[in-house]
Structure 1
């Protein structure tokens, strides 16, 4: 189920389903959307704070539900990640989302909502940079900005080494539905009704601020849960700030990846600028994708209609 594309004059809503947003950064990001030719409506949670959350669970849920049923809002942009979307997954009205399918965009902690929404409703959602954490950043670059065009002009996306060097860990070609996102959030879905389904899927993995031993632990859990062996292919995105604790001996991140990926029977390729990085290549999750290690490319079908 693909959402409708945006057209000039449409309105997008910005809400904070996880950690509190910096209102100044939100305001800095608004001109970016206005230059796209769309209007911006801010949700109530943009101004709320409840400890490390952007309002209570009830307030954050209400903000999302209000934007879903508001037919004047054609896309929902999540302000930032942080922590909190798993807390509201159980009470999210998935039937409401099916009745009002629209563009849903974000990443990081939003991975939990991407996974739950896609697996329950079949709606394509978008893994891409967010207003408060990325668009307002001084390092936000032209390529990252250009990725939003896919919401206005449906087009097949093509990733090659023109964007970044790619490293083949296991050769081959995979043609499958693209799923995944932030590794730690995928791990937190295991054993829940929203457990990531990787069977025959092209699995995207990225994360930030996790030391190699922590990434090792999470990949081991995916391995023991059968999620790596079940995948049709693995897309290794950016693992930012993955430094070992100071003064502690450690495996390198490359060694950890080798231990968990080199023995898989599916193709695996690393080096994609997808995640907590610039440029940030945005992708529709739930769409058919082709990863070919022979020419080092990833091609993904358009996510809007």
Structure 2
């Protein structure tokens, strides 16, 4: 069982970092009043606005921000400004023991998946897969339900997902219980063969992605299959796959056909259609906490991510 971070309360300070690519600063500025409306104070990381090509500052700068926010006793939680690419470049230098000694809310998704996996497995901390400031919160499309999902940081309550939220399809039936792990499919794949390979044994695997054509999703899923991830998992939660359209539809399977190829005959429950990922609304979830996937009833129940 992973350590649960302490819940946030009004008056707490949250640290903002850019662990990957440079965020859209205009959107970031627009997102800050939302955090203030939750009663939170804001502390910006030193490299939030830095640019180093496709990265938000150097690897050393971004790593220093991550460490500083976990070490700072005045910071109660950390929220990522955006994703993109680059978190994996310094993950092998993270002080996981320090994080383990300073557990606190850590929130983001997409490229942040690599950090979720590493922090979960080496600092044994539950983290949060949820919308980021510049990427989501600061946009006009930010949904009321996405905003409400931040409430789970302020008190320990169980999350329940059913077809009242979105249409769901069971690709394989049954019921699974286990820790919910995973996130962005591309980042899960990029960890295979490294010390940060995602452990899915007896766990419920969440996958989502963006801008991958069906043949690319096929290739990613095939890699996970060859790595025996689907044999080891207790169940599969398929989130949103935004812009997964083939450029040449006459020479492509559909995304649904790709999912059928990998999951229809799986011996564990698999359900698709969850609004988790690069979508609005975005149903935020804690990672590393016990969950129950019921493919027959088409429901997902997740225990609280804070204490």
User: TM-score normalised by the shorter chain: which range applies?
Assistant: over 0.9
The answer as to 2:142 corresponding to 1:161 is no
Task: Write out aligned runs for 1:37-52 (5 A).
Answer: 37-52=39-54
Q: Look up the match of 2:214.
A: 212
Q: Look up the match of 2:285.
A: 283
Q: Look up the match of 1:126.
A: 128
Deviation, structure 1 residue 247:
6.2
TM superposition outliers: structure 1 runs of 4+ over 4 Å = none
Q: Look up the match of 2:94.
A: 92
Deviation, structure 1 residue 112:
0.2
The answer as to 2:237 corresponding to 1:235 is yes
Q: Counterparts of 2:40 and 2:240 in 1: how far apart (Å)? A: 30
Q: Look up the match of 1:68.
A: 70
Task: Write out aligned runs for 1:175-186 (5 A).
Answer: 175-186=177-188
Deviation, structure 1 residue 153:
1.7
Q: Where in structure 2 are there 5+ consecutive unaligned residues?
A: none
Deviation, structure 1 residue 248:
5.4
Deviation, structure 1 residue 294:
2.2
Q: Counterparts of 1:181 and 1:83 in 2: how far apart (Å)? A: 15
Q: Look up the match of 2:266.
A: 264
Q: Counterparts of 1:286 and 1:131 in 2: how far apart (Å)? A: 23
Deviation, structure 1 residue 245:
2.0
Q: Where in structure 1 are there 5+ consecutive unaligned residues?
A: none
Q: Counterparts of 1:144 and 1:288 in 2: how far apart (Å)? A: 22
Q: Look up the match of 1:137.
A: 139
Q: Look up the match of 1:226.
A: 228
Q: Counterparts of 1:214 and 1:294 in 2: how far apart (Å)? A: 29
Q: Counterparts of 1:101 and 1:166 in 2: how far apart (Å)? A: 34
Deviation, structure 1 residue 296:
1.2
Deviations 1:74-101 (A, max 9, x none): 0000110100011011001101101111
2:295 to 293, 296, 299: 293
Root mean square deviation, CA, Å: 0.8
Q: Counterparts of 2:114 and 2:248 in 1: how far apart (Å)? A: 31
TM-score norm. by structure 1 comes to: 0.99
Q: Counterparts of 1:141 and 1:121 in 2: how far apart (Å)? A: 32
Deviation, structure 1 residue 172:
0.5
2:254 to 246, 252, 271: 252
Q: Which moved more, 1:247-256 or 1:275-284?
A: 247-256
Q: Counterparts of 2:13 and 2:264 in 1: how far apart (Å)? A: 46
Q: Which moved more, 1:63-72 or 1:245-254?
A: 245-254
Deviations 1:39-64 (A, max 9, x none): 11111111100000000000000111
TM-score norm. by structure 2 comes to: 0.98
Q: Counterparts of 1:247 and 1:3 in 2: how far apart (Å)? A: 46
Q: Look up the match of 2:172.
A: 170
Deviations 1:163-197 (A, max 9, x none): 00000100110011000000000000000000011
2:29 to 20, 27, 30: 27
